[in-house]
Structure 1
Amino acid sequence: MLSALLTAAEEEPNLFFPASYDIIWSAVCFAIILFFFWKKFLPALTKTLDARADAIEGGIKKAEIAQAEAAEALEHYKTQLAEGRAEAAKIREQARLEGTTIVNELKEQATLEAARITANAQATIEAERQAALASLRTEVGSLAIDLASGVIGQSLTDDKKSSALVDQFLADLEASEKAKAK
C-alpha cells in the first residue's frame, strides 16, 4: 500500500482536473449545503422578499390613495378659494354701494343742516335788524325832538305830539330813501 501511495505521489497532479476523491467529497458537501440552503435559507429569503414586496405594494397603494386624496383636497381648496374670492368681490361691491348710500345721506343731511343754519342765521339777522331799527328810531326820535325843541324854542314834552312828529319824520325819511333807490 505504501508503494501505491508513492506511485501516486510521483505522478504529476493535474491542475485542471482534480482527483476523484476530491470531486466526491466536494459533491457530498455541495449536496448538504444545497439541501440546507433549499430547506432553511431559501424559504426564509422568499418570505422576507414577499414581505418586502407586500410592503412596497402597500406603500405604493397608500401613496396612490394619499395622492388621490391630496388631489381631491386640492380641488376642494381651489373650489373654496374661488367661492371665497367671489364672496369677497360681492362683499366689496356691497360695501361700495353702502358707502355710496351713506355718503349721499350725509351730503343730504349736511345740505339740510346748512339750509337750517342759514335760515336761523337769516332769522337772527332780521330780528337784530328790527331791533336795531327800533333802537335807532327811538334814538333818532329823541334826538329829533331835542333838536326841534332847540330850533322852536319850546319844549316838546307831550309824548303824543312828539311821537306823532317822530313817526312823521321817519316816514318822510323812508319815502325819500325809496325815491332815491328807484
Structure 2
Amino acid sequence: MGPLEPDVPQLVVGLVCFFLIFGVLGKLLLPRIEKTLAERQDATEGGVERAEAARAEAQRVHEEFQSELAAARHEAAQIRQTATEEGAALLAQLRSEGQEVRDRMVSEAKVQLEADRVIAEAELREDVIRLAGDLAGRIVGEPVADGPRARAIADEFFAELDAKTGTRG
C-alpha cells in the first residue's frame, strides 16, 4: 500500500466522508456565507445609496431653510421699515403739536405783553400827569393839578408825542 496503490475501502470511506462534509458545508455553511456576503454587499451599496439619499434630503432641507431665512430677513426688513415710517410720522405729529403749542403760547404771551404795556403806559401817563401837576404847583406856588384844564393839556401833549413817535393813537 502506498500512495500509488490506495486501499479501496479506505478510499471509499475517505470519499464518502469528503462528500458528506462537502454536502453539509454546501447545504448549511455555504448559504450562510453567501447570505453574509450579500448582506455586506447590500450594506455597502445600500449604504452609499442611503448616504446619497440622505445628502439629497439634507440639501433639500438646507435650501428650504435658506428660503425661510431669506423670507424672515425680508419680513424683518419690512417691519423695520414700517417702524421707521411710523416713528417718523409720530415724530412729525409731535413736532406739529409742539409747534402749535409754542405758537399758541407765543401769541398768548404777546397779547399779555401788549395788555401789560397798555396798563403800564396808562399808569405812567397818570404818574406823569400827577408829577407834572405837582411840579407846576411848586413852581407857581398854588396847586395846579386835579383840574380839567391840566388833564386836557397833558392829553394834548401825549397826543402830539404819539403822533411824532407813531405809537398809540
Shorter-chain TM-score above 0.5: yes
Q: Distance in 1 between matches of 2:52 and 2:36?
A: 24
Query: Secondary structure at the residue paired with 1:156?
Result: coil
Mapped contact 2:134–2:145 kept (Cα < 8 A): no
Q: Percent identity?
A: 36
Closer/same/farther in 2, CA of residues 30 and 154 from structure 1, 3 Å limit: same
> 1:109-155 deviations in whole A, cap 9, x for unaligned?
33323322221221222122112111211211110110111122221
Matching of residues 1-182 of structure 1 within 5 Å: 20-21=6-7, 24=11, 27-53=15-41, 62-156=50-144, 158-178=146-166
Mapped contact 1:156–1:162 kept (Cα < 8 A): yes
| Unaligned ranges ≥5, structure 1 | 1-7
Root mean square deviation of aligned Cα: 3.3
Query: Normalising to structure 2: TM-score of the pair?
Result: 0.71
> 1:48-83 deviations in whole A, cap 9, x for unaligned?
444555555665565454444323322322221222
> 1:67-101 deviations in whole A, cap 9, x for unaligned?
44323322322221222222223223333333332
Query: Secondary structure at the residue paired with 1:20?
Result: coil
Mapped contact 2:130–2:145 kept (Cα < 8 A): no
**Higher RCO structure (Cα 8 Å, ≥6 apart):** 1
Query: Normalising to structure 1: TM-score of the pair?
Result: 0.67
Q: How many residues align?
A: 163
| Unaligned ranges ≥5, structure 2 | none
Closer/same/farther in 2, CA of residues 177 and 83 from structure 1, 3 Å limit: closer
Closer/same/farther in 2, CA of residues 60 and 176 from structure 1, 3 Å limit: closer
Q: Distance in 2 between matches of 1:126 and 1:19?
A: 153
Larger radius of gyration: 1
Opposite residue 6 of structure 2, the aligned amino acid is S
Query: Secondary structure at the residue paired with 2:125?
Result: helix
